[in-house]
Amino acid sequence: MDRPGTFTRAELIELSGLSAPTIGEVAGHLIRKGVVKDLGTGPSSGGRRPSLMEFNARHAYTAVMDIGPTRTRLAVADLRGETIQHEIVDTPKGVGPQEGLSHLADDLLALLERTRIPRGRLLAVAAGAPGIVGVKDGTLVLAPNLTGWRDVPMRDILAATLRTTVVVENDVNLALLGEHWRGAARGHESCAFVFVGTGIGAAVLIDGVLLHGHHDMAGEIAVMCMGPEFVDRDFGGRGCLETLAGLDALKARWPDGVPSDPERWIPSLLEAARSGDAQAQRAVEETARMIGIATANIGAVVDPSVVVLGGAMFAQAEPLADAVRDVVRRLQRNPFDVVLSQLGKEAPVAGGLLVAVAEARRQLTHQLELSVARSAHP
């Protein structure tokens, strides 16, 4: 499954240690099932012409649903995680989580239909949620930016409509997996992702393993206390760091009639700071200080080789990232790089596809094992 390009029966024999008759029998079975393509014979290198085969990445399909407070990203991909179709839809508003999730599941099924992929060939779906997720049972415990979404059996609701396996994961965790797979954290086995938008969160990978924690709350840095003066203050569900350094806090520090879309007003803020606007400079410095302290603290605990900054606050905001780096450099004892996300808003989608592909391959392998066993012992 992982190997790109073609391979031969001789290579399978060498890699597996199995006999030629066994490889021939199993390869024939996989070809009949459509998991492997028989490409015929290749050119001879002096002996018998080899029989070429290739893994059929479109034998089955995967999908991802990255749910945001206002927009949801949907994608359908093959068994290598290569995207076939991608769509952005509105996250349903004014309805409960059951109805909202059912509506999004219908959107994904409609995307499958337009892509002409039979529902029965969809092996796994990964769903990203902007909140605390119980990974074992797929429950969305709490999503502060989705009104009324608390203790939602998200996996079961989606699986009932999609009629396939659903894996639910926190969206920042998916973003880190995406960056580690295809983005700014490639090659870094111990790394972290710091997301700053309306909400704040983090994800941590240690020695290649995603950290969930005892209560599935690893990375919930929104509640990180940013100083002794805040110990006795109740910041509610938003937490200390999120209240002091989220998008709303940054906007409050520079309230010059900015539009609501951060993709427009953050560049305006940074330009004003570059032009000498004292209030804009103070807004950037105070926000960067808070995020820099949090990032340095993550570095001290996790000892990563890189921390990726992402979310709406850092979209097209290299000067703000530079200000965060400056704070981190002054505080860090174990050196690590602080870089901007390469995948941007698509990072959770990439991570979701990675998760969905892993689950689909697990299921496919199990199906094939049963199939081979039945054919060997009819």
pLDDT in tens, 311-336: 999 987 899 999 999 999 999 999 99
**Residue whose structure tokens are 């910041």:** 235
Give CA–CA dist 124/239, Å, rounded: 34
Give CA–CA dist 172/165, Å, rounded: 21
Identify the pLDDT of residue 51: 81
Q: What is the mean pLDDT of residues 258-271?
A: 81
133 phi, psi to nearest 5 deg: -120, 130
What pLDDT band is residue 184 in, cutting at 50, 70 and 90?
Answer: very high
Identify the pLDDT of residue 378: 58
pLDDT in tens, 80-107: 999 999 999 999 998 999 999 999 999 9
- Strand-pair category, 122-129 with 61-67: parallel
Give the chain's mean pLDDT. Answer: 92
What pLDDT band is residue 278 in, cutting at 50, 70 and 90?
Answer: very high
Q: What is the mean pLDDT of residues 196-218?
A: 94
Has this prediction a pTM greater than 0.85? yes
Give CA–CA dist 320/288, Å, rounded: 7
Structure tokens at 205: 């990978």
Domains of the chain: 7-55 (1.10.10), 61-171+349-364 (3.30.420.40), 184-341 (3.30.420.40)
Taking each helix axis as running N to C, give the angle between helix 262-274 and helix 318-331, from 0 to 180 degrees, rounded to the nearest 10. 70
How large is the C-alpha radius of gyration of the chain?
Answer: 24
User: Does 237 or 54 have the greater pLDDT score?
Assistant: 54
Identify the pLDDT of residue 23: 87
pLDDT(361) > 90: yes
Strands of the chain, DSSP E: 7-8, 36-41, 51-55, 61-67, 71-77, 83-90, 122-129, 132-134, 139-142, 150-152, 165-170, 191-196, 200-206, 209-210, 306-310, 337-340
